[in-house]
Amino acid sequence: MGTDRLYNAIGLSMKAGKAKSGAFAVERTVRAGKAKLVLLEETASEATKTHYEQLCAAHGVPFRTVETVGSAIGKDSHIVMAVTDPSFRDMIERAMRNTDEKRG
């Protein structure tokens, strides 16, 4: 159930227009200072993970990996997204904590 809540929150942020997906859009959003959280699929390559970790660290943006991004937002080919609203960021992070607690 916790996982459902997480992916529902991710999908809702996209439907509400409070997120950007795809490599170019995410990089532009982070560099513009509009990103509040960046999510990357766990299946991304180590080079991709390192790239986004460094980008987010340089701009002070929280970075997290999740099992899937694309299917949660209805764009299967997208593996990265940036949440642009602090309320949606908080909702997603709460759902992530709840998911982790249920696993542990």
- CATH number for position 99: 3.30.1330.30
Strand order in the sheet with 63-66: 19-21, 80-83, 37-41, 63-66
Q: Regarding predicted confidence, which is higher, 2 or 35?
A: 35
pLDDT at 32 exceeding the cut of 70: yes
- pLDDT tens per residue, range 49-93: 999 999 999 999 999 999 988 888 888 888 999 999 999 999 999
Structure tokens at 2: 């916790």
* CA–CA distance, 58 with 90 (Å, rounded to integer): 21
Could you give the number of structural domains in the chain?
1
The pLDDT of residue 46 is: 97
pLDDT, tens digit, 9 for 90 and up, residues 11-22: 999 999 999 999
Between CA 29 and CA 52 the distance in angstroms is 12
pLDDT of res. 1: 42
**pTM of structure:** 0.91
Domain that holds residue 30: 2-103
